[in-house]
């Protein structure tokens, strides 16, 4: 249980609602900032402004999945009020206070380091990334169906990258009857692709494999799907870029070439916010109990 834990949840989207709900069930005391437009309340949670929160009493601060922007501004989907996280505010929290975010950036990393607080980017964890690959795959399948006039079955699909998301995407599209090729760099990844029964190729040779492809699914956060790659693609082809912004696709050239290209980071929060929020809540609870210990038991 999280009895006597005091946690501030600053901004966020629909995923945070499930985090709030789950942490309330675990008996945490929650302070919600940036949720003033919600139609319903949560037991054990207080809606406050950032100035009303007493940071010196907090055990944890939970930021939205994107964290902050480069100037410290936090997304507040359920509020019109501007919300900014500063080093001065963080420095008022206790030394043991944990700061959770989905992803981090140079600003967030710097202010937590200067405030000497532990920053936990949840999406850097293997367990979160693997759990999130499930709704990501479902969302990718949905996008493929909605944006093509042919079946996934028997289509030619290129998956770029064999990370935690790429592996799940490749396996799922293969199970739907697609002819799947996977591009990677590392010899061990190429070997794993072969072991999975899929066709492998070196990502450096990507443009040699796009002539007859129907869908490219990119998971690599680097400029991989270049103009030279898109030039060889048939006009009916679809690009789904799952990499974090700005993605790895030359979207300008894709539009000029007449190839539909979609940037789709954060699919779990779009297609399954309840599941995505539940994943985050479970991991946050596990980390809190491990790092700070259980304070009360029943």
pLDDT digit string (tens) for 69-82?
Answer: 999 999 999 998 89
**Residue bearing the bigger pLDDT, 40 or 252:** 252
Separation of CA 166 from chain center: 14
- pLDDT score for 294: 63
Mean pLDDT on 189-207:
96
Tell me which H or E stretch contains 47.
strand 45-48
Q: Is 297's pLDDT higher than 50? A: no
- pLDDT score for 291: 87
From residue 93, alpha-carbon distances to 10, 45, 162, 214 in Å are 14, 19, 40, 52
- pLDDT score for 244: 84
Mean pLDDT on 13-17:
92
- pLDDT score for 2: 87
Question: Strands (DSSP E) along 73-121, which ranges?
Answer: 98-101, 118-121
Mean pLDDT on 34-53:
86
Q: Secondary structure of the chain: what % helix, strand, coil (to 5)?
A: 40, 20, 40
The DSSP code for 131 is H
- pLDDT score for 91: 97
- pLDDT score for 245: 84
Reported confidence tier of residue 298, pLDDT bands at 50, 70, 90: very low
Give this prediction's pTM. 0.83
Mean pLDDT on 110-120:
97
């Amino acid at each position: 249980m999280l009895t006597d834990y005091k946690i501030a949840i600053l901004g966020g989207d629909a995923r945070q609602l499930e985090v709030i709900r789950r942490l309330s069930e675990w008996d945490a005391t929650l302070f919600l900032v940036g949720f003033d437009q919600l139609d319903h309340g949560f037991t054990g949670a207080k809606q406050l402004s950032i100035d009303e929160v007493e940071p010196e009493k907090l055990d944890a601060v939970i930021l939205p999945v994107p964290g902050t922007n480069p100037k410290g501004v936090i997304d507040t989907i359920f509020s019109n009020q501007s919300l900014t996280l500063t080093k001065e505010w963080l420095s008022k929290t206790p030394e043991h206070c944990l700061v959770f975010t989905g992803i981090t950036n140079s600003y967030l990393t710097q202010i937590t380091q200067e405030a000497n607080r532990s920053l936990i980017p949840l999406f850097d964890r293997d367990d979160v990334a693997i759990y999130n690959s499930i709704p990501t795959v479902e969302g990718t399948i949905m996008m493929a169906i909605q944006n093509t006039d042919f079946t996934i079955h028997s289509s030619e699909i290129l998956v770029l990258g064999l990370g935690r998301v790429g592996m799940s995407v490749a396996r799922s599209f293969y199970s739907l009857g697609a002819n799947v090729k996977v591009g990677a760099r590392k010899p061990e990844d190429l070997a794993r692709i072969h072991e999975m029964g899929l066709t492998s190729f070196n990502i450096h040779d990507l443009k040699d494999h796009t002539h007859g492809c129907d869908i490219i699914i990119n998971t690599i956060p680097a400029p991989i799907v270049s103009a030279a790659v898109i030039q060889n693609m048939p006009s009916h082809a679809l690009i789904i870029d799952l990499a974090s912004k700005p993605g790895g696709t030359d979207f300008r050239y894709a539009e000029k070439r007449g190839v539909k290209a979609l940037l789709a980071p954060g699919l779990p929060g779009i297609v399954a916010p309840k599941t995505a929020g539940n994943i985050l809540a479970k991991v946050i609870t596990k980390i809190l109990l491990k790092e700070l210990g259980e304070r009360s038991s029943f």
